[in-house]
Chains A and B, each alone.
Chain A
């Protein structure tokens, strides 16, 4: 069961302000495949790579023996792009709320392999004590509005990553902009240095 909410997204707007119509973009979406988002990105000339990372990660965890579990191995299996791959935009949505800092270090290191100077990374960090048990689904309505489909059945404690931790984690990126939304979510747009 989900509770859909239409929310303004200044972060998305800022991200899209940098997108020009005269070139081809390579976009990595770590969220699930959504009709609305595919339709939205189709207005740009782009390659859209959809990974549904969290569900893949859960499937992977269910399949491996816990003692053999290695985040590096998981992330290389789940994000198997070649070294020549370059992304212009990476959409991580609220995925970072579902991993601890050690896991995120591995994830960011892996994502950084496919960044070039200027690559944008969009993320949402929660400062609430609890978050839904699984990531929120974000549907892009237009360049400044999204529907947040929040799973409401169960919650889990939020790691509440602090801005200094995020800054350290994202040391190879600059913060292009950051907006605190009314419901305790901080939007970040990073640019790879």
Chain B
């Protein structure tokens, strides 16, 4: 009968646990793509806000939000008096200002928005308190120019009415 001496190295040096394999999409993701900034409910910002990451707002912002390449979410406590430029803009709180979404704008049912919406896709849930204009002229937000400041009194810029006969052709 033979006895084999246990391998000392194996006893004293446990095999390290390997981390689970990462999906390739996550491996390739840049660190900044996963980052987002949070403005808490006690924070109030006056002025222009820009940056290189997604933004979640539960506080107040008066001024301008310019995050063209990033997602902007206004939480239920968020109170914004500003134009918002973003890739995807989701509103659950209050906004007074124009919204420019290069991809989409979503107004959740808890939202209250006074302003104009410019995006390739606009989704508005029932219950959303919205007064303003929605640009459905198949233009991108980048092409849309800010209109007059009175948010509820928007006239489509004259170039958007091209093709209409202002002298009286019927609709």
Give the interface of A toward B (CB within 8 A).
Answer: 18-19, 22-26, 33-36, 38, 41-42, 44-52, 56, 80-82, 84-86, 88-89, 116-120, 191
Contacts and interface: CB of A to CB of B under 8 A. Distances in A.
A36 B138 CA distance: 19
B171 interface: yes
B171 A33 contact: no
B7 interface: no
B152 to A, nearest CB: 6
A178 to B, nearest CB: 17
A188 to B, nearest CB: 15
B161 A118 contact: no
A47 B133 contact: yes
7 contacts: A24-B137, A33-B131, A52-B131, A56-B131, A86-B166, A89-B171, A116-B166
A24 B125 CA distance: 25
A46 to B, nearest CB: 5
B170 A23 contact: no
Interface in B155-171: 155-156, 160-164, 166-171
A185 B170 CA distance: 26
Nearest to B109: A35
